[in-house]
Structure 1
Amino acid sequence: MGVKGLQSFMERCCPDTCVTVDLREMARQHVAQTPANTSSPTLVVDGMACLCHWYRCQDWICGGQWREYMDLLKSWVEAFISAGIRLVFFFDGVVEEQKRKEWAKRRRRVNGEISKVFRHLKGHGEQPGRALFVLPSGTASFTRFALRSLGQEVFCSVREADYEIARYALQHNCMGILGQDSDFIIYDSAPYLSVAKLRIDTLTTVLYDRQRLCQTIGLAIHQLPLLACLLGNDVVSEEKMMNIRNNAMATYRMNKPSPHSGANQGQVVLAVSHLVSSVWDREEEEAGLLSLNLSAPLTELLQRGMSSYILPGQEALQWGDFSTASSAAVFEKHVSAEILKACREKHVAAEGFMVYSIVCEGVIECSNTLEDEEDTELLPQAFVLKACRQRIYGLVLLHGHDGSNVNLPAMKEWFVYPGNPLQEPDMVHPVPISLTGDQPSLDLLWFGTGPEVSALRLNSFLSIFDCQQLSDLHGEVEDSLLAALCLITYIALQVNTLSQEDVDAYLSQAVCVRLKSTQELQHIKLPVLCSRAVQLGSLYIRGLGHLLGANCACGCPLPSAALMPWNSFDGRLFHSKYLLAHGGAEKTVLLESDSSCLNLFLRLREKLTETCRNRGRVLQSRPKPPEQSHKTTPGPRYRERHSGGPSESDENWRQRGENTGGWREREEMRGRRSGYGNREWQRGGHRGGMRGGQHFHPHPESYPNFQDGGHRNTSHRSYQSRGGSYSSRGRYQLAPRWSQPHGPGT
């Protein structure tokens, strides 16, 4: 992020530009210098840069310890409040197209790190060290709501968040910007303070002083944008300006035969600084870009990159007008002016979720999820949750239509999943929800009143997840439990390999987490970690995000608090329930000998089973012990339950695994039976069953009904009837017929 090598240059080659500051004293001085200002000194916080510093919970791999995370956020905020410092938080609300390549590059890099996480997990049965730390899925999305619930002012950007942060700090005379992005050195705005160097107990950190930097490298502040672009940033890639830097280095070394004491990167910064100074016209006060001998496209790119640092009220010199101010909404003709206005307001205030991206951007993104690219059984969350996204799109865009018009708009989806190189978006068409009569309009759902509208909101919400039968539970069970049941039912309908044990783990977690204190959740002991449970935990959190998007689209039939993970989910608790359920624990043990919890669990389980059965889905028992390769010794229950184990050689057992494989083989077989032919699940023709003994299968004699790797689910529809297809780009196109109505995109 930011300007390549600039911050490390300041730290290593000119440490006097990095000043340790006391934020309390800085706040007092800020007040003294602005006596007319009656408000508290304000610190603008780059929320995205702070996430990995905020999330310090011991467990991160199981899906997140959300209640503990909330407590940590609260303590962090209170430290500033006690010092009389007001906080204003900004989060990325969009990914600008000029930065899409950089976004995709980072997502691919994180995917590589996630692969290492799963290799460690499957090899050791435990969470890897902090060096492989990956934020729990959904952290960025839910943190915005967490801070709002703590009474903080939170904004979601409609363009590059760095720009909006710098603009806000300048316009409101803020005492500083707290983040971790060297772009804040380039903006002529408030002082840039490091969150990485922050000590919350003493409220001290490091200030990167742009004035001292300019004195050191011999530039003026208004020349910094050209320096940033020549060094490389998110707009102008490092590779694009490589020749310019090489030439600058050659000239610098020829004129400065004695090498600079700093590292090579330090010499690069100094060399490029000398180049900027040499091409800057002292009289005209503008950059002579023509002297750089760049092609027209590169010159325009350079001008665009420089202009991205110019804030309102600051002179942009003669670089051209490259304003990226928000333009007309992409799908504004599909909604009313009132909806469009409310959409923007909710988005900016971090109150809405997903709808603004649909209407105004026509683009939906989802970052990395903890998913094992070598898993042969579980669908990626992008495809498990695709059907409900299509219905959300339909609810927002198709009111008054039946979905049969071929000219209806398609959404661009940038979802990270195994095998997707992120070279171009998936085009996903909206699908109407299944309600009697016409599609309800957003105006009615958002602004209508009366009990009939309230019922319509709830029915629309449940229809998005194909769970209309759950409406009779509204008001009888807690809203968070109704939401959990809706999500678990939807996952069970979408994922054919989801077993009864998986459902029991999900449901028992949802029932029990309400009664747990933060301390109890922190002290849950896990004898071993299972990669499949890790993926199911991340899938659930991603599902909560989709519940939130659907709830916003439907006019909020459920309070947002009911959809927040700190009120409904704990990864460590879920993992413990998963191990118990797959270890054959009795239901009384699973529900911790609490009769009221057990009764509630059984009621929800019966409702889920009935809903699934009505859609042709019959859950099967398929207990799965932890992976065979774990070095951790399983507990007594696992030793007793799975003492048989495979007796064949590794090679024979691998062949056995290939015969029983995961979802890819099963769907491939269904495809051949229904005339679709072979399906490759990933680019490059990657197929396969359980590889190299990564997954432990119980000995067939241990479970009389556990043949060929699991129960045969005869209720599964043939793949032809499910409308599945596989495009030339290698995307998964898998969704059960009962959850994906006919129409565009099926």
Structure 2
Amino acid sequence: MGVKGLQSYMENNCGGKVCYRVNINQVIKEFREETTSTEVLILVDANSSLRHLLEGLDWMCGGQYNEYSERIHRFVNSIRDAGAEPIFFYDGPCLTQKRDEWIKRRVENYHRVQHLMNRIRTGECVAEVSAFILPTGISMFQRFILTEECKCKVIVTSEECDEEIALYAKQNPSKVVAIMAQDSDFVIYNAAKYYLSAQHLDLNDLSTRVYSSCELAKVNKLDPRWLPVVATLLGNDYLSQDSLRKFHFRITNWRRSGFPRHQILIPAVAKVISEKLTIGMSVEEMSSLLNREVFMNSATSQTENAIRSSLNSFLLLNVTGNTKQITDSYGKNLLDALMLHSNFNPMAAQVLVHSCVEHSNAFEDLTSQFKATALVYEPINSRYMGILRKHQEFKPGKNVIQEFSVWSEHSVKRARNVPVVFPPFEVDLLSLTQSADPTLISEKLKVLLWGITGKNVIDEQSFQSDLERLFLRINPKFYICSLVLYYLHQIEQLLNLTEVELFVSMFVILDSELYEFKHQIRAYPNYNAIHLATLFNRGIQAVGRIISILGPIFPSFSFSQKNFFDGVLFQKIFLQEIKIDKASESDRAKSIRSAIFDFMNFKV
């Protein structure tokens, strides 16, 4: 999550050698000449890098996935054309010791979203707003495009990905030319020859800014090996800036309001390091000494542990695999198998390892009469966790899990216990997720349909066969989105058939390939259409989680949101800016409508 303000300090206060612009083509060419390497890699922090490709596209209305897909393709192709292969890394679950910071950011996002939703509800223009929230489920779509279309290697890490990216770079110095991200932690790691800024990337000439760790250390008269200590003493996710206030005031003689600026603070921190520490000290020795130096009479074992955790993190001593933390062999083998899938969802690791799950902000009005989407999909999420934990059904404490989710202003500040609902029939999830045997499709569908409906298909075999038969009539492109609509219409009864019709009309238009996509941000989006879009897309995320643990079951294109959703198009359909003439539709369109509505009308 970075050291706040460090990159701005490097850009504005350190001179041209610390932060400067480079051409990535030239960087790769020089690296090849220096290393004679036949394989050149750029490690990409997908969470921070791919979000910048959304600039200029709609996000409030739910996202423009076709246009976003084109930008991801261009990003990958530009790097490949320059002679390198990108590897994309995704975050796993939030670390316990970083939970407070995660909560703080979710609360900030809550107020940002509510401010925007209030403006939209009252009809104000939102075209020029600077706030930004990632569309719900965007990472699932990114991974689909990267793995299935671009054929890139994607790694979903065991925890936050920055440490594993840095470790990968350090272990492969003859192959990794650069890390691309927007996180000042990579300045501290000093893991690759170049740390490239995703925010400042220009795909037209493939240039961006470089942040040099060695030059930053040189400016402050330090050995680069001391950068982890600098990051610790400046404040980060382990050791907050507030907790270091007195120390910062003392070493800078700061007498004004607020905190000392980095151009004053960083040289003062460097001076403390130079005077108090020596190369070769262990983490334990540094933690003990710095605890006394920083906190003086207020030093405790807790503050020393925070310093130690920060140092271990920046020194890459914390990196461990999820499966090392699982004591039962079935669970370990299951998580290993799940992580091999391109659509692996990191929540599986939270359920199997951490006994705590999290749901971030969605773009919704949580002060309205609408039910919060986190609560709408709680039944599906509970059954998802029950499928994952079926092998632990009778073990103590496995029938409940702690959840951090944003469904009101204060909900995320404290975890609540959510029930884990186990399937009422035997499930060997490890066998299902490992197998591509088509004879197991019916067994996988039984688990999936129970996850969506909560219906006991063992007691009512006719229900499964009838529902399965109707479902399999649907075009595979619309499998996942039809399951979401079925849940919202038949199970939760939150959508009426008129609203279902809006979504199905969108599916038909997108399937026709006649819709002209345009990069567009609507100045006055419709409030109710935004609610429906968020409700739908959060469902894609929830249903997608269940599918991700069942192994091969649907064609890969079923996971591609560009096949069935476009936020701007949905607004136009909702507002009747596009007229739907079902009578003149093609036979294919009529077949799509008929199959989906036959499925929608099946009563539970």
Quick check: TM above 0.5? yes
Given candidates 349, 354, 364, the residue that maps to 1:361 is: 354
Whole-Å separation in 2 of the counterparts to 1:4 and 1:345: 34
Q: 1:465: how far off?
A: 1.1
What SS does the aligned partner of 1:137 have? coil
**1:714 aligned partner:** none
- Relative to structure 2, which stretch is displaced further, 554-563 or 268-277? 554-563
Taking structure 1 as reference, are residues 336 and 373 closer, same or farther at Cα in structure 2, changes over 3 Å only?
closer
Whole-Å separation in 1 of the counterparts to 2:556 and 2:591: 26
Q: 1:229: how far off?
A: 1.1
1:547 aligns with 2:546: no
Whole-Å separation in 2 of the counterparts to 1:562 and 1:136: 19
What whole-Å deviation, never above 9, does each CA across 1:60-106 have from its counterpart, x for those lacking one? 21111111110111011111111112111111012111111111111
**2:334 aligned partner:** 339
Residues 250-399 of structure 1 aligned to structure 2 (within 5 Å): 250=253, 264-281=261-278, 287=286, 288-289=289-290, 290-292=292-294, 293=296, 294-311=299-316, 323=318, 325-326=320-321, 333=328, 335=330, 338-346=333-341, 351-352=344-345, 354-376=347-369, 378-398=370-390
- Relative to structure 2, which stretch is displaced further, 483-492 or 286-295? 286-295
Residues 673-692 of structure 1 aligned to structure 2 (within 5 Å): none
**1:511 aligned partner:** 508
Residues 481-500 of structure 1 aligned to structure 2 (within 5 Å): 481-500=478-497
What SS does the aligned partner of 1:178 have? strand
2:126–2:523 Cα contact (<8 Å) kept: no
**1:180 aligned partner:** 182
What whole-Å deviation, never above 9, does each CA across 1:347-374 have from its counterpart, x for those lacking one? xx65456433322333322221001122
1:19 aligns with 2:24: no
The residue type paired with residue 339 of structure 1 is: L
- Relative to structure 2, which stretch is displaced further, 547-556 or 235-244? 547-556
**1:4 aligned partner:** 4
The residue type paired with residue 52 of structure 1 is: R
1:133 aligns with 2:132: yes
**2:444 aligned partner:** 457
2:475–2:592 Cα contact (<8 Å) kept: no
What SS does the aligned partner of 1:245 have? helix
Q: 1:593: how far off?
A: 4.2
1:11–1:18 Cα contact (<8 Å) kept: yes
Runs of 5+ unmatched residues, structure 2: 456-463
Q: 1:594: how far off?
A: 4.2
Q: 1:264: how far off?
A: 3.2
Residues 239-250 of structure 1 aligned to structure 2 (within 5 Å): 239-250=242-253
1:394–1:432 Cα contact (<8 Å) kept: yes
Given candidates 542, 546, 562, the residue that maps to 2:558 is: 562
**2:421 aligned partner:** 431
What SS does the aligned partner of 1:131 have? coil
- Relative to structure 2, which stretch is displaced further, 273-282 or 191-200? 273-282
What SS does the aligned partner of 2:575 have? helix
The residue type paired with residue 244 of structure 1 is: F
Taking structure 1 as reference, are residues 451 and 220 closer, same or farther at Cα in structure 2, changes over 3 Å only?
closer
Q: 1:529: how far off?
A: 2.6
Whole-Å separation in 2 of the counterparts to 1:366 and 1:567: 25
What SS does the aligned partner of 1:132 have? coil
1:27–1:175 Cα contact (<8 Å) kept: yes
Whole-Å separation in 2 of the counterparts to 1:459 and 1:226: 54
1:201 aligns with 2:199: no
2:126–2:524 Cα contact (<8 Å) kept: no
1:177–1:192 Cα contact (<8 Å) kept: yes
Whole-Å separation in 1 of the counterparts to 2:280 and 2:95: 35
Whole-Å separation in 2 of the counterparts to 1:507 and 1:237: 49
What whole-Å deviation, never above 9, does each CA across 1:379-402 have from its counterpart, x for those lacking one? 11111111111111222222596x
1:353–1:549 Cα contact (<8 Å) kept: no
2:228–2:311 Cα contact (<8 Å) kept: yes
Runs of 5+ unmatched residues, structure 1: 254-262, 313-322, 616-746
Residues 569-718 of structure 1 aligned to structure 2 (within 5 Å): 569-580=565-576, 589=581, 593-594=585-586, 596-609=588-601, 611=602, 614-615=603-604
Q: How many residues align?
A: 577
The residue type paired with residue 84 of structure 1 is: G
The residue type paired with residue 291 of structure 1 is: E
Residues 66-145 of structure 1 aligned to structure 2 (within 5 Å): 66-124=65-123, 127-145=126-144
1:484–1:510 Cα contact (<8 Å) kept: no
Q: 1:607: how far off?
A: 3.1
Taking structure 1 as reference, are residues 178 and 337 closer, same or farther at Cα in structure 2, changes over 3 Å only?
closer
**2:404 aligned partner:** 414
What whole-Å deviation, never above 9, does each CA across 1:637-660 have from its counterpart, x for those lacking one? xxxxxxxxxxxxxxxxxxxxxxxx
2:164–2:319 Cα contact (<8 Å) kept: no
**2:458 aligned partner:** none
**2:459 aligned partner:** none
Q: 1:596: how far off?
A: 4.1
What whole-Å deviation, never above 9, does each CA across 1:643-680 have from its counterpart, x for those lacking one? xxxxxxxxxxxxxxxxxxxxxxxxxxxxxxxxxxxxxx
What SS does the aligned partner of 2:87 have? strand
Taking structure 1 as reference, are residues 130 and 591 closer, same or farther at Cα in structure 2, changes over 3 Å only?
farther
Q: 1:578: how far off?
A: 2.3
1:334–1:398 Cα contact (<8 Å) kept: no
User: What TM-score comes out, normalization by structure 2 length?
Assistant: 0.88
Whole-Å separation in 1 of the counterparts to 2:94 and 2:443: 33
Taking structure 1 as reference, are residues 214 and 591 closer, same or farther at Cα in structure 2, changes over 3 Å only?
farther
What whole-Å deviation, never above 9, does each CA across 1:252-272 have from its counterpart, x for those lacking one? x9xxxxxxxxx8331122222
Q: 1:141: how far off?
A: 3.1
Given candidates 229, 239, 257, the residue that maps to 1:226 is: 229
1:329–1:361 Cα contact (<8 Å) kept: no
Whole-Å separation in 1 of the counterparts to 2:538 and 2:583: 25
1:198–1:206 Cα contact (<8 Å) kept: yes
User: What TM-score comes out, normalization by structure 1 length?
Assistant: 0.72
Q: 1:156: how far off?
A: 0.9
Whole-Å separation in 2 of the counterparts to 1:596 and 1:157: 42
Whole-Å separation in 1 of the counterparts to 2:130 and 2:138: 19
Kindly report the root-mean-square deviation, in angstroms, between the aligned alpha carbons of the 2 structures.
2.9
Residues 134-173 of structure 1 aligned to structure 2 (within 5 Å): 134-149=133-148, 150-173=150-173
Taking structure 1 as reference, are residues 556 and 125 closer, same or farther at Cα in structure 2, changes over 3 Å only?
farther
Q: Return the structure number with greater helix share.
A: 2
Taking structure 1 as reference, are residues 268 and 591 closer, same or farther at Cα in structure 2, changes over 3 Å only?
farther
Whole-Å separation in 2 of the counterparts to 1:429 and 1:275: 50
The residue type paired with residue 360 of structure 2 is: S
Whole-Å separation in 1 of the counterparts to 2:520 and 2:467: 32
Taking structure 1 as reference, are residues 452 and 105 closer, same or farther at Cα in structure 2, changes over 3 Å only?
same
What SS does the aligned partner of 2:510 have? helix
1:334–1:397 Cα contact (<8 Å) kept: no
Whole-Å separation in 1 of the counterparts to 2:84 and 2:323: 37
- Relative to structure 2, which stretch is displaced further, 185-194 or 52-61? 52-61
1:87–1:152 Cα contact (<8 Å) kept: yes
The residue type paired with residue 581 of structure 2 is: V
2:470–2:595 Cα contact (<8 Å) kept: no
The residue type paired with residue 233 of structure 2 is: L
Whole-Å separation in 1 of the counterparts to 2:336 and 2:76: 31
1:544–1:564 Cα contact (<8 Å) kept: no
Residues 437-476 of structure 1 aligned to structure 2 (within 5 Å): 438-447=425-434, 452-466=439-453, 468=464, 469-476=466-473
Q: 1:425: how far off?
A: 2.1
